[in-house]
Amino acid sequence: MTCLPTHTDKKLGLVIDLDTCVGCQACVTACKEWNTGGHMAPLTDIDPYGGHVDGVWFNRVHSYEHITEMGGRTVNFPRSCLHCEMPACVTVCPTGASYKRASDGIVLVDEDKCIGCKLCSWACPYGAREFDTDVGVMKKCTLCVDRIYNDNLAEQDRVPACVAACPTSARHFGDLGDPASAISLLVTERGGVDLMPEMGYHPTNKYLPPRAHTQRAASVPAKALEPVRAEGGFLGWVDRMLSN
Amino acid sequence: MHPAFSVVFFTTATGAGYGLLALLGVLGAAGLVSPDFWLGFVGMGLALGLISAGLLSSTGHLGRPERAWRAFSQWRSSWLSREGVASVATFIPAGLFGIGWVILGRLDSWVAAAGVLAAIGAIVTVCMTGMIYASLKPIAHWHSPYTLPGYLIFSAMSGSVLLNAVLQGFALGSNIFLAFSVPLVLLGWIWKLATWRYNDRLETATTANTATGLAGGTVRTLEWPHTEENYLLKEMGFRIARKHSAKLRRITQALAFALPILLLVAAFAFPWPLAAVLSALAAVAQFAGMLVERWLFFAEAKHTVTLYYGR
């Protein structure tokens, strides 16, 4: 059913720290590795070793240069499904393949119902959905539903693959509907923001902006090297001999 | 947006077909046309043929067309589903109207009622098609007050030009029908020019800043996540060179609006059968012009995801 739930018990989602993300692509490959055998498998690659590589990925990391009056800086920007509270990708679906779960707010696609009309990908402003031309259906991030509730995994591993893989802890997972959760407190503390709030999709995932520039770095260059003057003594003699 | 031919043809053909169906239904119910076999056969055949061909073409856009029947289920939330339901529902009164006219040779009582219902169904279906595009917020060129009226105007316009061609073909044309078509084509032309003007001046609140959450300053793309074009860029990142866009807009105006108006005005002046030939040419030129118009409708529309790629 593509009508949205009026209320979700939880708002599971990610918080991504743009300050600490180093753009290593570990989350991208971990996501691909897990999900190509997971809930929405396979994440088809077309011509993977050829000249026109294409394929389905749920998570893509862009790099931007953000230039302000304080100077420029590189910002690595992971982009994946934001599991919006008002996901138009769900309501436009004509078949009921797309749905938002009332229990935890995760937006999923039932691959057996998808007719591959691609309208949901048009309705998503964030480019979260990617069409699998090989299977003929739309695919998207599942927030690793097959990990986070998976009793076969150790409890600390029950997080999305991208979160588990991040070497700089730039990715956080939790319930954003609970204001007392660690992830919600992090958003409050760091001033987490919505992407494209003007679209009115109310994304669940939040992005932590890079921290402000500081003046702690050395503001003057190191002292200039002193000019080399001729040495006397034994070392001076060695220097002269070797210089000849 | 990528202008897939299946969808370009679908919206153009069904637009013209539903326009013709609505006009035939109303004129038939009002007794303004006679229940002539060949007129009904050709007129209704053309209308339902265009609609069916368009709907079949639309399934060519699907990844899994064998599941297309599922698209009738989510009419409570989805304009695409509503369009599917409306298009199939319209076949019922349209079919009865066609049977009454062509097989039973009558346009009174229940046949007239079926004609009116078919006309209502046609208008509703075109509205649903327009809303599919008008409801998509990420595409500001479509999420505009011009989209839905545009679909209705172009449908009425191409339907009236087709109807005029059919009536002229049976030497049933009249200056009244011609006088009905010409202003509609003119209205279509004005609407398209106004739409282009609106789109060219469009400034949206969504920028690379709001897309990335990086406030202030400028956000410049350093590196894409991938080296080759992916689905997002192929489907939503379609770009058309500015010079081609200008040229195609001129072709649209010439074929879809200017030439049909000239030919229809000329049809006023010349006797049958020349008037019939001119009317048929007007319909053919306009259909070709509307295909170019619809191609541009997709090709010129910009999706917010392109902001992530610095486009």
Residue B81 lies in a domain: yes
Q: Domains along chain A? A: 12-208 (3.30.70.20)
Residue B20 lies in a domain: yes
CB contact under 8 A, A115 and B213: no
Output the six-digit token pair for B178: 């011609």
> What confidence score (pLDDT) does residue A220 get?
65
Residue B218 lies in a domain: no
The residue type found at A103 is: S
> What confidence score (pLDDT) does residue A213 get?
79
User: CB neighbours of A191 closer than 8 A, spacing ≥ 6?
Assistant: A208, A209
pLDDT tens digits for B32-52?
A: 888 899 999 999 999 999 999
pLDDT tens digits for B61-90?
A: 899 999 999 999 999 999 999 999 999 999
Q: Residues of chain A whose pLDDT is less than 70?
A: 1, 217-222, 227-228, 230
CA distance B100 to B102: 6
> What confidence score (pLDDT) does residue A1 get?
63
pLDDT score of B303 more than 80: yes
Residue B217 lies in a domain: no
CB contact under 8 A, B63 and A115: yes
Element (H, E) at A77: strand A71-80
The residue type found at B102 is: V
Answer yes or no: are the C-beta atoms of B154 and B290 closer than 8 Å: yes
pLDDT tens digits for B143-182?
A: 999 999 999 999 999 999 999 999 999 988 777 888 889 9
Contact list in B for residue A53 (CB cut-off 8 A) is 226-228
Residue B182 lies in a domain: yes
What ipTM was reported for this prediction?
0.94
Output the six-digit token pair for A15: 């918080």
Q: Tell me the sheet residues that pair with A14.
A: A173
> What confidence score (pLDDT) does residue A82 get?
98
Measuring CA to CA, which residue among B104, B125, B96 is closest to residue B25? Answer: B96
Residues 151-190 of chain A with CB under 8 A from chain B are none
Q: Tell me the sheet residues that pair with A221.
A: none
Residue B40 lies in a domain: yes
The residue type found at B217 is: G
CB contact under 8 A, B211 and A195: yes
Measuring CA to CA, which residue among B189, B139, B164, B186 is closest to residue B268? Answer: B164
Measuring CA to CA, which residue among A109, A56, A119 is closest to residue A83? Answer: A109
> What confidence score (pLDDT) does residue A196 get?
97
Q: How many CB pairs under 8 A join A and B?
A: 205
User: Which residue range is the domain that position B148 belongs to?
Assistant: 5-63+70-212+223-309
Residue B115 lies in a domain: yes
Higher per-residue confidence, B238 vs B12:
B12
- Chain B residue with the nearest C-alpha to that of A66: B219
Residue B173 lies in a domain: yes
Measuring CA to CA, which residue among B140, B161, B135, B147 is closest to residue B11? Answer: B147
CB contact under 8 A, B214 and A64: yes
CA distance B35 to A174: 69
- Burial code (b: 16+ CB inside 10 Å, e: under 16) for A119-140 equals bbbbbbbbbbbbbbbebbbbbb
CATH number assigned to the domain comprising residue B204: 1.20.1630.10
By the CB < 8 Å criterion, does A130 face chain B? Answer: yes
Residue with tokens 């208008």: B123
pLDDT tens digits for A73-103?
A: 999 999 999 999 999 999 999 999 999 999 9
CB contact under 8 A, B80 and A194: no
Helices then strands, counting H and E runs in chain A, come out as: 7, 11
Question: How many domains are there within chain B?
Answer: 1
CB contact under 8 A, B214 and A209: yes
Contact list in B for residue A14 (CB cut-off 8 A) is none
> What confidence score (pLDDT) does residue A238 get?
84
Residues 180-219 of chain B with CB under 8 A from chain A are 205-206, 208, 210-219
- The rounded mean pLDDT for chain B is 95
Answer yes or no: are the C-beta atoms of B221 and A67 closer than 8 Å: no
